[in-house]
Amino acid sequence: MPGSIRAFGTKTMADNPALESANDAFAQALEQPEVQGRSLWQDAWHRLLKNRAAVVSGTLLLILLLLVIFGPMLSPYDFDYTDWDNIYHAPSLANGHVFGTDAVGRDLFVRTLVGGRISLLVGLVATLVSLLIGVTYGAVAGYFGGRLDQTMMRLVDIFYAMPFMFLVILLMVVFGRHIVLIFVAIGAVNWLDMARIVRGQTLSLKNTDYVEAAKVCGVKPAAIIRRHILPNLLGVVMVYVTLTIPQVILVESFLSFLGLGVQEPMTSWGALVNDGAQDMESAPWMLVFPALFLTVTLYCLNYIGDGLRDALDPKDHL
């Protein structure tokens, strides 16, 4: 069969001069340097770079991240070291406490950065937990559809109506204030939106030709979801993740502020703000620095999330 086709092809081409010249043009085009195609991601990246607020936020966040990771190594003080000579000391360059010290003489610069590590870590890990639950749940519900989908989404509806913050507080009260529990509790509470978004996207993706093709080839559902559906969800999910991280950081700070989050001497931005709020009249620097770091981080993350959404979804651009 292949031989006969080739024979047929060569014969026609040889007989038809117009086709021959077209063939030449094609060969010429092949020799020319390849035109770079722009993928969806490159497009989105270019749009994101044009968004000044997002670029500034990204740069700021990067600086903050580096500071939080490497800053504590540069300071001569440990985050739980007590400097008895300098209790409640205002910020000063002379003795190296650039952000001042707290009620037991601990260096606030190091504590703010170490607290930032915890806050950001909680933000990342808890978001990952919610990502894992939400994407799996949503993809399964959307892909299998039917009664399973209905039951699963009803459950999400029911969960939606719950005062979740209070359940997290209950969890923390009941099972103690361990950091792993904070990750899990916050993550376990935050997956509902993700599940809904992913389900909606999966519903529209599962009827595409390439998924049909994969089904015909006998690919198993789990593999279809993993290989053909999830990669196409990446954009939506990424936007959502950037917007979830600040939310999660906020929840952790909220818990720590109420005294239900991380335990002394470890700290987080919420716990530091709580300490600061109690001594703000005599030592306002204890409130100002952690509050500033927390707010700037949330501000940047929100702007990046907004920018990403605009960049990845030009339809929504108002």
Partner 1 sequence: MLKYSLRRLLWAVPTLVLLITLAFFMMRVAPGGPFDSEKSLPPEIEANLNAKYHLDEPLVQQYFRYLGQILHLDFGPSFSYKDWTVNELIADGFPVSLTIGSLAMLLAFFAGTSIGTLAALRQNTAVDYGAMGTAMIGISIPNFVVAPLLILLVAVYAGWLPAGGWDWSWQRMVLPVITLALPMIAYIARLMRGSMIEVLHSNFIRTARAKGLPETTVIRRHALKPALLPVISFMGPATAGLITGSVVIERIFAIPGIGSYFVQGAMNRDYTLVMGVVVFYGILIILFNFLVDLIYAWFNPRIRYEDHG
Tell me which residues touch partner 1 (CB under 8 A).
157-158, 161-167, 169-171, 173-175, 246, 250, 253-254, 257-260, 270, 273-274, 276-277, 280-281, 284, 287, 291, 294-295, 298-299, 302-303, 318
Q: How far is the CB of 211 from partner 1 (least distance, A)?
A: 31
- Those residues whose C-beta lies under 8 Å from the C-beta of residue 179, and which sit 6 or more positions away, are 118, 122, 262, 266
- In terms of CB distance, is 88 or 254 closer to partner 1? 254
C-alpha distances out from residue 167 to 112, 186, 318, Å:
28, 10, 37
- In terms of CB distance, is 126 or 171 closer to partner 1? 171
Q: How far is the CB of 318 from partner 1 (least distance, A)?
A: 5
At 282 the three-state DSSP class reads: coil
- In terms of CB distance, is 131 or 298 closer to partner 1? 298
Q: Which tokens belong to 34?
A: 């390849």
- In terms of CB distance, is 26 or 166 closer to partner 1? 166
Q: How far is the CB of 254 from partner 1 (least distance, A)?
A: 7
Q: What is the DSSP string of 90-117?
A: PP-STTS-TT-B-TT--BHHHHHHHHHH
- H helix runs in the chain, sequence order: 2-15, 17-31, 40-50, 52-74, 108-144, 146-160, 164-175, 179-189, 191-205, 209-216, 221-224, 230-257, 269-278, 285-312
DSSP state of 84: G
- Whether the CB-CB separation of 130 and 96 falls below 8 Å is answered with no
- In terms of CB distance, is 284 or 314 closer to partner 1? 284
Q: How far is the CB of 40 from partner 1 (least distance, A)?
A: 24
- In terms of CB distance, is 8 or 175 closer to partner 1? 175
Q: How far is the CB of 109 from partner 1 (least distance, A)?
A: 19
Q: How far is the CB of 53 from partner 1 (least distance, A)?
A: 8
Helical packing angle, 52-74 and 40-50, nearest 10°: 80
> Whose CA is closest to 78, among 119, 111, 117?
111
